[in-house]
């Protein structure tokens, strides 16, 4: 019972922190507007860890590698903590377990990225119906433009209805199947 509560707390706190770091990384990568409440919130929550990491780990070509690495490390710590609380003994196969945990953390980051894109597409579609001039609209547009633009270039609106969000959601769902299968294969190493 206590282990389940600790796993829940660990998963909630570190999972949310990893999500916040990943959102900060993508907002910078996709050049989301910096002066909005979401950006300011993400910076305020993560700056205590990102600033020192930037002194040690350089960015390259406008890509904020320290933030991405911190998101991955947070996932790695989360997975290791969960396995330890579940009673997995790392001492016998430390090398294999460390490699498998590193791969699982990477798969979790990819899965979280797909869910972020999916949520952004859905929220943007709903906001476009009810409040297209919301303060969140420019942020969502910067998140979704690279993905929706590829579909819009190939499939024009049909009867003034843009179907590109639907196609992006279908593609993301297919990618999530692949990610889940990969995650299952890596989990078998434990």
Q: For every one of its 190 residues, what pLDDT tens digit does the chain have, with 9 covering 90 and above?
A: 888 999 999 999 999 999 999 999 999 998 888 788 888 899 999 999 999 999 998 888 888 999 999 999 999 999 999 988 988 877 777 778 888 899 999 999 999 999 999 999 999 999 988 888 888 888 888 889 999 999 999 988 888 888 899 999 999 999 999 999 999 998 887 7
- Domain holding 145, by residue range, is 2-187
d(CA 111, CA 90): 25
What pLDDT shows up at residue 104?
A: 95
Number of domains in the chain: 1
- Cα-Cα end-to-end distance for the chain: 23
Q: Which two tokens stand for residue 54?
A: 């930037």
CB 172 within 8 A of CB 117: yes
HSE at residue 155, side-chain half, CA atoms within 13 A, is 14
Name beta bridge partners: 161: 158
What pLDDT shows up at residue 132?
A: 81
CA 61 to chain centre: 21
Q: What is the crossing angle of helices 137-154 and 94-130, to 10°?
A: 90
CB 140 within 8 A of CB 127: yes
Helices (H) and strands (E) in the chain, counts: 6, 0
What pLDDT shows up at residue 180?
A: 95
**Residue 158, SS3 per DSSP:** strand
What pLDDT shows up at residue 66?
A: 95
**Residue 33, SS3 per DSSP:** coil
What pLDDT shows up at residue 160?
A: 83
């Amino acid at each position: 019972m206590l282990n389940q509560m600790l796993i829940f707390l660990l998963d909630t706190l570190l999972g949310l922190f990893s999500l916040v770091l990943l959102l900060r990384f993508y907002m910078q990568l996709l050049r989301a507007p910096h002066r909005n409440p979401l950006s300011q919130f993400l910076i305020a929550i993560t700056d205590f860890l990102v600033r020192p990491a930037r002194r040690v780990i350089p960015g390259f070509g406008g890509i904020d590698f320290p933030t991405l690495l911190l998101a991955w490390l947070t996932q790695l710590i989360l997975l290791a903590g969960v396995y330890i609380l579940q009673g997995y003994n790392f001492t016998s196969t430390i090398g294999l377990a460390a490699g498998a945990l590193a791969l699982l953390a990477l798969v979790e980051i990819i899965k979280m990225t797909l869910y972020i894109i999916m949520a952004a597409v859905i929220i943007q579609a709903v906001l476009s119906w009810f409040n297209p001039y919301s303060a969140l609209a420019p942020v969502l547009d910067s998140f979704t433009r690279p993905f929706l633009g590829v579909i819009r270039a190939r499939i024009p609106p049909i009867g003034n209805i843009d179907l590109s969000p639907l196609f992006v959601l279908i593609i993301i769902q297919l990618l999530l199947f692949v990610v889940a299968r990969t995650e299952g294969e890596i989990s078998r190493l434990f």
